Structure 1
Amino acid sequence: MTLKALLASACLAALTASALTTTARAADVELTLSHWVPATHALQPGGMEIWAKSISDASGGRIKITIYPASQLGAAPDHYDMARDGIVDIGFINPGYQPGRFPIIAAGEIPFLISNAKGGSRALDEWYTQYAAKEMKDVQFCMAIVHDPGTLHGTKGPIQVPADLKGKNIRPAHATMARLVNSLGAASVQVPAGDMRELISKGAADMTASPWNSIYTFGLQDVTKHHLDLPFYVTTFAFVMNKAKIDGLSPADRKVINDHCTPDWAEKMASKWADAEAAGRQKMIDAGGHTLYKPTADEVGLWKKATASLQGEWETSATKAGVDAKAAWAGLGETLRKYNADVK
């Protein structure tokens, strides 16, 4: 009996050691998430960190995501290719930083389309998921989001009607905005958000497109004193992943990741950022020294007229990308209405 007990004990110890080794291996899933805004930007503590913790919790601690902010691993326009090539496992991208490369998701860039970031992010993600495998086939698409509606901020006033842009150098938020400002007689000077401060302070641009609180986040509150007080546009963003890394995960871990790449998570990711951006407008008013130009109804009509051709341009680009553009546009509008995120 003693011998049998010893043998049984040895077998149990071997099985336990094997199980512990397996658990250790399973726990060793480390993913890098790279982005290009400051670590203090509301998107990191209010979105990315919450998302990463939820993934860790849902996986029983098997998956750990390390976040690298502020372009530590590469420049903002390179993040799609960085995820594609495995330089990072997860990249946060602004598709509009690479004009013409992602024409389908660019629908979300058209002004006066998306009224808010929360329902807008849920809607854009739900709509775009059906096209992501076609347009972003080099990566594993996770989710798409938008920021709270932004506007134009300048060093010289006023900014009230489209004619006020003529002759100015303007930093656009994305390719669609660049085409718009060029069509209005302005020159676009496109740089990532992190470079806005240097661009404006050196006088290389007179104006920038930005949501409200990002003026503070990127340190432009002392150089931009004139503001178009109008919810004008949003910017589309996406989280994309290295295919080989995700495919190499266990089925259980892939399920955890997939469960965190949903329209519900897109809304969660955008929500705290949206609140922070919206609060920036009142913060600016309270600070004083800023002039907010609120267009009349007729002047809003001038802005909408100035942007009217952008939908047709998008349809042409989307058609060339192999999409039924009219059906896609109608589908986007329907999805935005479903989540009360359309502009009335």
Structure 2
Amino acid sequence: MRARGTLLSFMVIVLLFVYGCENSGNQVGAQEEEVYTLTITTNVSTTHPFSKETIVPYMERVTELTDGQVQFKYYPSEQLGKSQDFIHLVRDGVIDIAHFNAYSYPSEFPITSSLMAMPGLVTTGEELTPMFNETIRMDPVLEVDFLSNGVRPVLGMVTIPYDLYTTGKEIRVPEDLKGLKIMNHGGVFKTAIEHLGATPVTITVSDMYEAFDKGVVDVINHYPSTLNAWSMGDLIESGTSGAKIGAAPYGLMISEKTWQGLPENARTALYQAGDELAASSSKIFDDDSKSVEKKWIEQGQVNKLTDEELKKWEKVHDEIREKWLAKQKDPKYKEAYDLVMKKIQEIK
């Protein structure tokens, strides 16, 4: 009788052990198969090139790389808040991922907001985007600009250099800008505009058509692809080709809280998709800008600058960079600048 009881107890223990192992295995499997749905927002519409060529393919690629484990809910056109508030909404976990224009956050992004925006540095977006995408994921930029604000960059890009456009006045050399009101993106752009003897007027991209049309600003500084997307070609009557008055560093940032809550394969996918889409879409935007600019030149809306005129702009670029760098007291800014300049020289 005692033997039967001992045998029964042993069988129960074995069954409990087997059940426990199976249950444990099921829990691990369930964890691996958990679906993560991330919110993502931008300040552009679904028809804008950045939405069509970067955001949508990025979401699709991450979902593909994770076999459907990471899904997205997309909120374009500032549906979840104004673009200037994106960094705070992401930091606080209201939004998981948001589009950032670095120069919109000069206080939060003291390095990224101006580093690639300095005039004369950027040649093409396609050439410098991989370097920028790599640099913002490294210290000192990663820690100073992103992690300290509770966000992390997963995709970084640089636009083709900005040029200058008016509703009539011809701009060929820096002296032509004196006394004019120029669209200001803040930071180093403000320093550049003031150095040129002009007045900086801060407006957002979404407000630039009306501001340009009503004379709130005399000069728009941007690049053709975005200007064309916002129908600015209807207003532009004169512009430069080759002034290279800055560029825009931009991309996608994720909440660090969200990032830490994702499994390793999802993090890897977010970075990999960022690398792939930064490279492919920067080329698309460069090509689109060149195509738009070519059309504007043929229509007489844009002037291709002469070698002599370009040299005058290059001289001003050097002066502006020197003035801006003299203002930067944080040694980490100088460290980041030296890193970028070294990488640019390696590319060239």
Distance 2:73 2:330 in 1: 35
Residue 39 of structure 1 corresponds to 46
What is the identity, as a one-letter code, of the residue corresponding to 1:38? S
Measured against aligned partners, the alpha-carbon deviations of 1:94-145 in whole angstroms (never above 9, x if no partner) come to: 1212334422221101111110111211111223333212222221222321
Q: Which has the greater radius of gyration?
A: 2
SS in 2 for 1:114: coil
Measured against aligned partners, the alpha-carbon deviations of 1:258-293 in whole angstroms (never above 9, x if no partner) come to: 43344x55323423222222221123245x3x4322
Distance 1:166 1:246 in 2: 47
Residue 238 of structure 1 corresponds to 251
Q: 2:123 aligns with which of 89, 111, 115?
A: 115
SS in 1 for 2:116: helix
Residue 323 of structure 1 corresponds to 332
Distance 2:31 2:133 in 1: 35
> Do the aligned residues in 2 keep the contact of 1:98 with 1:175 (CA within 8 Å)?
no
So what's the TM-score if we normalise by structure 2?
Answer: 0.84
* Structure 1 vs Structure 2 CA RMSD: 2.7
| Post-superposition offset of 1:331 | 2.2
Residue 312 of structure 1 corresponds to 322
Task: Confirm whether residue 56 of structure 1 aligns to residue 69 of structure 2.
Answer: no
| Post-superposition offset of 1:66 | 2.5
Residue 305 of structure 2 corresponds to 295
Distance 2:265 2:105 in 1: 35
> Do the aligned residues in 2 keep the contact of 1:35 with 1:70 (CA within 8 Å)?
yes
| Post-superposition offset of 1:196 | 0.8
Distance 2:93 2:52 in 1: 25
What is the identity, as a one-letter code, of the residue corresponding to 1:132? L
> Do the aligned residues in 1 keep the contact of 2:297 with 2:304 (CA within 8 Å)?
no
Number of residue pairs the alignment of both structures matches = 324
> Do the aligned residues in 2 keep the contact of 1:77 with 1:97 (CA within 8 Å)?
yes
> Do the aligned residues in 2 keep the contact of 1:27 with 1:61 (CA within 8 Å)?
no
Measured against aligned partners, the alpha-carbon deviations of 1:156-208 in whole angstroms (never above 9, x if no partner) come to: 22110111111111113443222211222211112221211011112111110
| Post-superposition offset of 1:37 | 2.0
Gaps of 5+ in 2: 1-14
Distance 2:263 2:183 in 1: 44
| Post-superposition offset of 1:20 | 10
Whose relative contact order is higher, 1 or 2, with alpha carbons under 8 Å and at least 6 apart?
1
> Do the aligned residues in 2 keep the contact of 1:38 with 1:70 (CA within 8 Å)?
yes
SS in 2 for 1:234: coil
Task: Confirm whether residue 208 of structure 1 aligns to residue 211 of structure 2.
Answer: no
Distance 1:253 1:107 in 2: 30
Distance 1:237 1:196 in 2: 18
Distance 2:33 2:292 in 1: 43
SS in 2 for 1:102: coil
The 3 A distance-change label for structure 1 pair 283 and 50 is same
Q: 2:154 aligns with which of 130, 142, 145?
A: 142
Identity of aligned residues (%): 20
The 3 A distance-change label for structure 1 pair 183 and 100 is farther
Distance 2:330 2:273 in 1: 28
